[in-house]
Amino acid sequence: MYTIVTGAAGFIGSNLVKALNERGVSDIIAVDNLTKADKYRNLVDCEIADYLDKNEFIDAVAAGEFDGAVDAVLHQGACSDTMEHNGQYMMANNYRYSLELLDFCLDQEVPFLYASSASVYGGGRVFQESREFEAPLNVYGYSKFLFDQVVRRRLAETDFHAQVAGFRYFNVYGPREQHKGRMASVAFHFFNQYQAEGKVKLFEGCDGYGNGEQRRDFVFIDDVVKVNLHFLDQGASGIFNLGTGRAQSFNDVAVATVNACRAAQGEAALSLAELRGRGMIEYIAFPEALKGKYQSYTEADIGLLREAGYEAPFAGVEDGVAAYVKDRLKE
């Protein structure tokens, strides 16, 4: 019996594969699209049973080749580029593909855990898993929103027998995201900037926020993995926010990144004001292309996650970024 991980060479997918390995699970079918071949590096230290291209895999599913052979599907594969303008591609890749896997799992009565996104909330100020708070700002968010709507309808059916759990990821950061380029986390970019230039660059203020004071719910990858595996073990169904429940500013991330780099060199931590005064933090103009399409504030309401039995604490930016920088410095 196999565990299927889609997006297995990607950021969250590869971390899930590694965590499954640490549990002694290696009968894993890794599904991805390696058109961008560098992602393979995320799987080098992982054990899998087989690798399938995403199109090869969905054809095999449709042909019945995996009937009776799957323990669970962890569906992390998606186009996550919020600036992608090809709506036809986005809907085929994120929505229609997910529907086919959902139908397979419901038919086979195997757990289906999938990646949704906080982007479904758009520019709103309330982040609860409820329809009235959902208004995506781009086609990526819409593709995630529309699939969540299907899941809601399926969960309401009286003859529902399989586990289906969707996780609305907020701003995830951590190891194995290097392939994402401009879509990698701000912690990733801040680290690279500081190592290259001795300073980090943040956006100037927008939407009523001061310079670098836009706030997001930044969640460390280790916590994302723990939540997924908890639900895989416990079998709960539903759509859940997956964030820390605490918004922190981009300035917080910048300070944590620089101070973690400084600590590795035996240097003392500095405050935001001190870092700005020394030119280690500077602000750049807010991009025109992002205006009206940018979430200046996110903070997960994790009430439903807690009600479903997940009780572990989440790492704040200070601890999560410090662990991430320590990992990056090993490269």
Q: Are strands 215-216 and 248-249 parallel, antiparallel or unpaired?
A: antiparallel
Phi (first) and psi of residue 27, to 5 degrees: -80, 70
SS3 232: helix
The percent of the chain in helix, strand and coil, each rounded to the nearest 5, is 45, 15, 40
Is position 199 annotated as part of the catalytic site? no
> Rounded CA gap, 154 and 164, in Å?
9
| Dist. CA 183–CA 243, nearest whole Å | 18
Q: How far apart are CA 89 and CA 107, in angstroms?
A: 26
Given 2, 40, 51, 180, which residue is catalytic? 180
The sign of the torsion formed by the CA atoms of 256, 40, 79, 2 equals: negative
Catalytic annotation, pick one of 95, 97, 140, 169: 140
103-to-40, 59, 111, 160, 196 alpha-carbon distances in Å: 29, 14, 12, 12, 48
Say whether 180 is catalytic: yes
Q: Is residue 19 a contact partner of residue 12, using CB atoms and an 8 Å limit?
A: no
Tell me the residue ranges of DSSP E strands in 162-199.
164-169, 171-173
Q: Distances in Å between the alpha carbon of 228 and those of 79, 191, 225, 248?
A: 20, 27, 5, 23
Q: With residue 117 as reference, give the H or E element that holds it.
A: strand 112-117
Q: Which long-range contacts (CB under 8 A, 24 or more apart) does 266-275 make?
A: none
- Catalogue the E-assigned strands of 14-61: 28-32, 50-53
CA–CA distance, 297 with 319 (Å, rounded to integer): 21
Residues with catalytic function: 140, 180
